[in-house]
Homo-oligomer: A and B are copies of this chain.
Amino acid sequence: MQNTAPHKRANLRDVAAAAEVSVATVSRVLNAPGSVARDTRLRVEDAMARLHWTPSAAARAINSGRSRFVGALVPTLDHDIFARLLAELESRLAEHRLSLVVATTRRRSADEARKAQGLLDIGAEGLLVSGAVRAPEFHALIERTRLPAVATSWYDPGYALPTVGYDNRAAALMALRHLTDLGHRRIAVLHGPLATNDRTALRVTALEESDHDLVFHATGMTIADGRAATRAALAAPVRPTALLCLSDVQATGALQECLHAGIRVPEALSVIGTDDLPGSAHLYPALTTVHLPVGRMGRVAADAIAGWVEAQRRPEAQLLDIALMARDSTAAPPSEA
């Protein structure tokens, strides 16, 4: 029989008592171990261990005004690109001793503001968002609270939030250039929804502004959508010699459709993607695509937001390099059509 209370979690006072020091000393071995005499410190640490004590994050937060976590607002986790982004964010933030709380917006503008508010309510010190946020309430919130927030997946030094990402226009044009350099003139473009995805919109706009005569096919973001859009593109009166897909997922669908339809790639049709997903190099044929540095983007964004919340350093917009990965799905167009 012990006469201590039944089973309450120990607190700092208990540790102080057990180590026969004051609460301040215990707090010191936590926050400034150097300022505590060696054997005092040892006694305290021993007491902490005996009582299985860990400081209460809530109590520390209330005093320090810091919660040590940031929120990430992504449209979905179903797309490999966001999953990889989060993975890198999480591991890099951990190095800054920051945790990551995840929220998904399902591409709904209403969710953007609501979930951002939710993250704020639970004490997020910063926000990471993917792409431009449409909801005006979101921006009002950020402005009002002065919450550090960085946007990823695109680059725009003029945006309200610091951006860490690549040049989406350049990515689309790089793919286009590759095709035209090979001699393609009849090119169909497969792209995702413009209304809910500004990166896609940027890519499409860049292509529209080029002098080339492109046919655009809007579709969804799944492999099945890519297949369907490919069917549509190939059924056009003037059949394209190349398919420019603004997402590797759609390109994957395009390749599948060609396989099913018996169309030889790249001999009869060239296919190029955008993203360079892990699987893209292993498709049949290996997909030529524009590499978007998602992993590095995650790390850079993590450092940016960490620097901001830790040291009040508002980061500059950062442009990350993209690169053409020429593989086996593109070639010169068939000599005569």
Interface residues, chain A, CB within 8 Å of chain B?
A: 52, 54-59, 61-62, 67-69, 76-78, 80, 82-84, 86-87, 90-91, 94, 99-104, 106, 117-118, 120-123, 144-145, 222-224, 227, 252-253, 256, 259-260, 278-279, 281-284
Q: Is the CB of A223 within 8 A of B279?
A: yes
B contact residues around A80 at 8 Å (CB) = 80, 83
State the 4 A-B residue pairs at the shortest beta-carbon distance, nearest first. A58-B61, A77-B87, A259-B284, A83-B83
B contact residues around A57 at 8 Å (CB) = 67, 121-123
Q: Is the CB of B102 within 8 A of A100?
A: yes
> Closest Cβ of chain B: how far from A90's Cβ, in Å?
6
Q: Is the CB of A52 within 8 A of B144?
A: yes
B contact residues around A222 at 8 Å (CB) = 278
B contact residues around A278 at 8 Å (CB) = 78, 222-223
Instruction: Name the residue on B nearest A76 (C-beta).
Output: B87
> Closest Cβ of chain B: how far from A261's Cβ, in Å?
10
Provide a sorted-by-A list of 17 A–B residue pairs whose CB atoms are within 8 angstroms.
A52-B145, A54-B120, A58-B58, A61-B61, A62-B62, A76-B87, A77-B86, A77-B90, A80-B83, A83-B83, A94-B103, A94-B118, A99-B122, A100-B101, A252-B282, A256-B284, A259-B284
- Decide if the interface of chain A is mainly helix, strand, loop or mixed: helix
Q: Is the CB of B279 within 8 A of A101?
A: no
Q: A57-B122, A278-B223, A282-B223 are in contact. Are A84 and B91 (CB under 8 A)?
A: no
B contact residues around A94 at 8 Å (CB) = 103, 118
Complex CA–CA separation, A58 to B61 (angstroms): 6
Q: Is the CB of A91 within 8 A of B104?
A: yes
> Closest Cβ of chain B: how far from A17's Cβ, in Å?
20
Complex CA–CA separation, A48 to B181 (angstroms): 62
Complex CA–CA separation, A278 to B224 (angstroms): 10
Q: Is the CB of A86 within 8 A of B69?
A: no
Complex CA–CA separation, A227 to B286 (angstroms): 13
Complex CA–CA separation, A67 to B69 (angstroms): 13
B contact residues around A78 at 8 Å (CB) = 83-84, 87, 278
> Closest Cβ of chain B: how far from A104's Cβ, in Å?
6
Q: A78-B84, A101-B69 are in contact. Are A58 and B123 (CB under 8 A)?
A: yes
Instruction: Name the residue on B nearest A259 (C-beta).
Output: B284
Instruction: Name the residue on B nearest A122 (C-beta).
Output: B57
B contact residues around A144 at 8 Å (CB) = 52
B contact residues around A253 at 8 Å (CB) = 282
Complex CA–CA separation, A78 to B81 (angstroms): 9
B contact residues around A69 at 8 Å (CB) = 101, 122
B contact residues around A61 at 8 Å (CB) = 58, 61
Q: Is the CB of B102 within 8 A of A102?
A: yes
Complex CA–CA separation, A104 to B88 (angstroms): 10
B contact residues around A90 at 8 Å (CB) = 77, 102-104
> Closest Cβ of chain B: how far from A107's Cβ, in Å?
13
B contact residues around A123 at 8 Å (CB) = 56-58
Instruction: Name the residue on B nearest A282 (C-beta).
Output: B223
